[in-house]
Amino acid sequence: TLLWMLSTNMLPSVGVLLPVDLIFRALGLLDSRTGLIIIYMLMNLPIVVWMLYTFFKDIPKHILEAGRMHGASTLQGIFRLLLPLSLPGIASTGL
């Protein structure tokens, strides 16, 4: 699925121009900031997902297992272990 997401970035922008124009015209988003935000977000989404996936994949699973052994719930493991370890990846992806 990651390769499919990345391959959407290789599609020429002209190929999706007409469908996006028709959809945005139907939704009333032509010539609006909201429309631009949606387009820019969708253009960069495959790269963001690819980069964040590699950062999260590199975090050792033993850290989450150790947190569970110490009584951390799933949400505590995410917010107290996984998120602080992945902040450099999130920051570099955001830039």
- Write the CB contacts of 67 (distance below 8 Å, at least 6 apart in sequence): 76, 77, 80, 81
Instruction: Indicate the pTM of the whole model.
Output: 0.71
Question: pLDDT per residue over 30-65, tens digit each?
Answer: 999 999 999 999 888 888 988 899 899 999 999 999
Question: pLDDT per residue over 24-34, tens digit each?
Answer: 999 999 999 99
At 17, list the tokens: 């121009």
Report in angstroms the alpha-carbon separations of 2 from 12, 51, 92. Answer: 19, 10, 19
On whether the CB atoms of residues 51 and 88 are closer than 8 A, the answer is no
At 72, list the tokens: 């951390």
